A = this chain, B = another copy of it.
Amino acid sequence: MFNKEIETLPLAQLRKLQSERLVKLVERVYAKVPFYKNALDQKGIKPSDIKSIEDLHKLPFTKKTDLRDQYPFGFLTLPENDLARIHCSSGTTGKPTVVAYTKKDVEIFSEVVARSLAAGGAKPGMKLHNSYGYGLFTGGIGLHYGAEKLGMSVIPVSGGRTDRQIQLLKDFQSEVICCTPSYAQTIAFELEKQGISLSELNLKYAVLGAEPWTDAIRKDIETSLGVKATNIYGLSEVIGPGVSQEAYDEQSTGSYIWEDHFFPEVVDKDTGEPLPYGEEGVLVFTTLTKEAMPMLRYWTNDICSIYYDESKSRTHIKMSQIKGRADDMLIIRGVNLFHTQVEEVFKDCPQLTPNYQLVVTKDGVNDRVEVKVETSQDYQKEIALAGGFTDEEVMSHESLLYLNRDLCKKIKDATGLSMKLSLKAHGKIPKSEGGKLQRIVDLR
């Protein structure tokens, strides 16, 4: 552990620390940030109403649109010339989102990344091959500073040029790599293609993040790179990578949230009401210690659950893997559903095209989902040729009934929900015209 005292702080003490920090934080943002003064005033909340972390739910949420509205520096609690660093999101859709740091914020950022790397297996003296992009994106520099703080030797490779990445992995014998899970797979693929054996490398740990991934991907990466692979989670608006991290010896049990700095809640995506530990909803963070641009209840839009895992080595709370984005989540008969769960079922099915829609209706008090998906031209032809059928006859052929039954079972297994499945002829579901296809038609 990088900071054993804090990472194993008894919960009561952690709560005390969080409460003290929250009280100061609310005073600070009320005095310094007009956006928060207005938001608290509108709710009729005074800073003095916030006496402990228990009062957190009284505070307003902060959403990404608020950050955009306050672009560039509306959320600052201090003058611009007291800043140490400014990052921002790529701003592909309109104005970028600005995130600003004081020197102390950069130190906090380094501390939580150092803890995360250590939890991921890294030790002082090891080499970190850092393939996260350096620049305005917080990934590269974030991991860089954390590794430096931990006492590693950092190789600031940044992204791209996989050939060179592999040469450096071989020549420098780095023990730890950090990048996105998909880039780890790219490197593994390239190693295999070039016939490079794992014995030529010295990788032991991979700290992967910046995109959702699964245990199946983990298994693939662990085998193909010869590493223990763990999840690092974060977002620039909160601080960057290092908001939470999975321990390498507690894989698949969730990622520790460094809750002395980032207080998490999971709330109902529609009502904003806090949900009990273990229930899935929108992850929300309050930055208890950030100076330049603290956030009250920042709405990450990520769906997961949080819970204490008392059998584990640290006292901090854990979060589950991210299931998806809140604006993609349906609640069907009380069960959370992402259309991507259904997509997963269809993915490796050659009888279908990737074109599908979920139509949600209400039948009395019950939600009903109809899944419409296209059969592929090849599959239709195959049936037609075999029996000399017309187009119409093909679509009512019995093999489609078997396929339908099979898919319904797989969907039930994957989602926990029974759905009606309608197989449509090729071309019968509207295609995306440039933009994103409307996968969900919610008629409730």
Residues of A within 8 A of B (CB): 71-72, 80-88, 91, 96, 100, 103, 106, 124-127, 134-136, 140-141, 144, 148, 153-158, 164, 167-168, 171-172
CA distance A127 to B88 in the complex (A): 14
B158 and A135 contacting across the interface, CB-CB below 8 Å: yes
Q: In the complex this chain forms, how many copies of it are found?
A: 2
What's the nearest-Cβ distance from chain B to residue A201, in Å? Answer: 14
CB-CB under 8 A from A134, the residues of chain B are: 134-135, 140-141, 156, 158
CB-CB under 8 A from A154, the residues of chain B are: 84-86
Q: Given A135-B157, A136-B156, A156-B136, decide whether A125 and B82 contact each other with a Cβ distance below 8 A.
A: yes
B140 and A86 contacting across the interface, CB-CB below 8 Å: no
CB-CB under 8 A from A87, the residues of chain B are: 156
CB-CB under 8 A from A124, the residues of chain B are: 81
Apart from A86-B153, A88-B168, A135-B156: 15 A-B pairs, beta carbons within 8 A:
A71-B171, A80-B127, A81-B125, A84-B153, A85-B154, A86-B154, A86-B155, A86-B172, A87-B156, A100-B153, A134-B134, A134-B141, A135-B158, A136-B155, A136-B157
A84 and B172 contacting across the interface, CB-CB below 8 Å: no
CA distance A404 to B168 in the complex (A): 54
Which 6 pairs show the lowest CB-CB distances between chains A and B? Answer: A81-B125, A135-B158, A134-B134, A83-B153, A86-B155, A72-B171
CB-CB under 8 A from A172, the residues of chain B are: 72, 86
CA distance A91 to B86 in the complex (A): 31
A153 and B80 contacting across the interface, CB-CB below 8 Å: yes
CB-CB under 8 A from A171, the residues of chain B are: 71-72
CB-CB under 8 A from A83, the residues of chain B are: 127, 153
What's the nearest-Cβ distance from chain B to residue A340, in Å? Answer: 30
Of B71, B82, B85, B157, which one neighbours A156 at CB under 8 angstroms?
Answer: B85
CA distance A84 to B71 in the complex (A): 36
What's the nearest-Cβ distance from chain B to residue A254, in Å? Answer: 31
What's the nearest-Cβ distance from chain B to residue A88, in Å? Answer: 7
CB-CB under 8 A from A72, the residues of chain B are: 171-172
Of B84, B91, B100, which one neighbours A164 at CB under 8 angstroms?
Answer: B91
What's the nearest-Cβ distance from chain B to residue A200, in Å? Answer: 14
